[in-house]
Structure 1
Amino acid sequence: MDRDGTMTIDWQEWRDHFLLHSLENVEDVLYFWKHSTVLDIGECLTVPDEFSEQEKLTGMWWKQLVAGAVAGAVSRTGTAPLDRLKVFMQVHASKTNRLNILGGLRSMIREGGVRSLWRGNGINVLKIAPESAIKFMAYEQIKRAIRGQQETLHVQERFVAGSLAGATAQTIIYPMEVLKTRLTLRRTGQYKGLLDCAWQILEQEGPRAFYRGYLPNVLGIIPYAGIDLAVYETLKNQWLQQYSHDSADPGILVLLACGTISSTCGQIASYPLALVRTRMQAQDWGER
């Protein structure tokens, strides 16, 4: 699509790409692009994407997962300073130590320099592939078990399947979440790298430390996924009832707005549990 190699896509390139594209159905084009519109910051608790039978048979599903992993790596790296600031404020802010955004950034840069803003990003990117693959496979198996002879799943059944799939993925990759928090909060010279961090935790705190904060993390999936899905479906259906009597497709802008609002509501509802999880993951670090 980027014919002139400028790493940007202007209007003419966008227009010409779709004018000459073999797909004539606009819905097919939007269906392809819908899997590539998510900004991944590492807090992926949403219900997994649905893939059609045709996508599964043609192998499009794994291409979408690979594309999502690459996009996730880019977006997580781009937002890593804000992610580290969030974790830093979650752990260190208190009634006696009131941190703000600028104060938190100053503290991190003063302690480790500008490069320290990307601490923990490596493990955050590394866990994308296993987490996405496990969640997708678990979601498909759970859907198959719930669906039985039904052709499609209801919203409530999708919520149950998505929550169980998310819990399965989090259970398996959770030690990486603990490592990510410890590496994000580490002092300069505290760990030599990922393996050294894992070894120190194992040697000094035991294997149970790798699942510290697991319960609030799993419990957070339920309000996040449930509210996200419920708000999304409610807003979409309300819009269809009010403004679109002849079509079942509200359009990409409406879907984007519904997704943004629903995701925000889900994050607000689950944030207290996320705060408890991060405090528990970093507990030993804070005691030193």
Structure 2
Amino acid sequence: MTVPKVEDKDHQPGQAAAVETGVDTLEHQRDLVAKLQKKPMVQGDRWYLLEHKWFKQWKKYVGYDTWEMSTVGAPTANPGPIDNSSLLKEGNDPEDLREHLIEELDYALMPEEAWDKLVEWYGFVPNQAPIARTVVDYGMFLKNLRVEIYKMELKICLHPNIDDLKTTRFSRVATLEEVDRVARSVFSVPEDANTRLWHRFSTNTLEMITDKSKTIQDESLYSAQVVLLEVQNSNGSWPRSSPASGNSPSPQLGALTCANTVATSSTQHGNAGSSGSNNSGAGASSTTPGSSY
């Protein structure tokens, strides 16, 4: 059965010129999206969340399911511009999704090519950003590719103000260099300043992150973990200095609190004078990677 082209009289606000002029028939839309949805996931690719209610309406409009053809091309079945507001918390921030969303109940996943086509054909509601997510390998020993729907939440602070916690979200495959860049931006730290990152594994212990090229996942950071940014002093010393270096140790930092209080990770070893985003900074004091507050 050939599905009729979209005529101007069937057009609703938000549809693109391609549909208005009948360049893409509804049959073509249906077949193309169905084909693209079968595309295998590739690590690092972007997929998009699409409100399931809108997707179901679009299926009726294009005759996606052969047993439901009575509404094909009907003006009343046109889904109109894509609207993902039901997936978002207040504020329309694409990073701030409602909790406990379920695939095929609340949303459908679209590869980038399919998403771009749907936006081209139907448009997107104003003042709302697309919800793009990355394909991540969740497997420890065997590859397990999935779209990362909820990003990892980290709480960052600037030494010595450990109570001034800022909540940020990152993909699990983001590097610690990216965490460093975001922390610098949040706390207005100059780009050319040398910095170190520290994370906590127990109530009273900080451990230096010695390799910023690692990903959050490789570093075994966990959701709601506190990450501390330390900025090198102008004289080349570090605020958190070892007593053995001849500099005074930093004051007691006190206890940090976060949602998860226990995490397991392999302890890192290596040169404790880790570099900033560009270099290590000459004259930096030697510090043991794992140290008490």
TM range (shorter): under 0.3
Q: Please tell me whether Structure 1 or Structure 2 has the larger radius of gyration of its CA atoms.
A: 2
Higher relative contact order (CA 8 A, sep 6+): 1
Write 1 or 2 for the structure with the bigger share of helix.
1
TM-score (norm 2): 0.26
Write 1 or 2 for the structure with the bigger share of strand.
2
TM-score (norm 1): 0.27
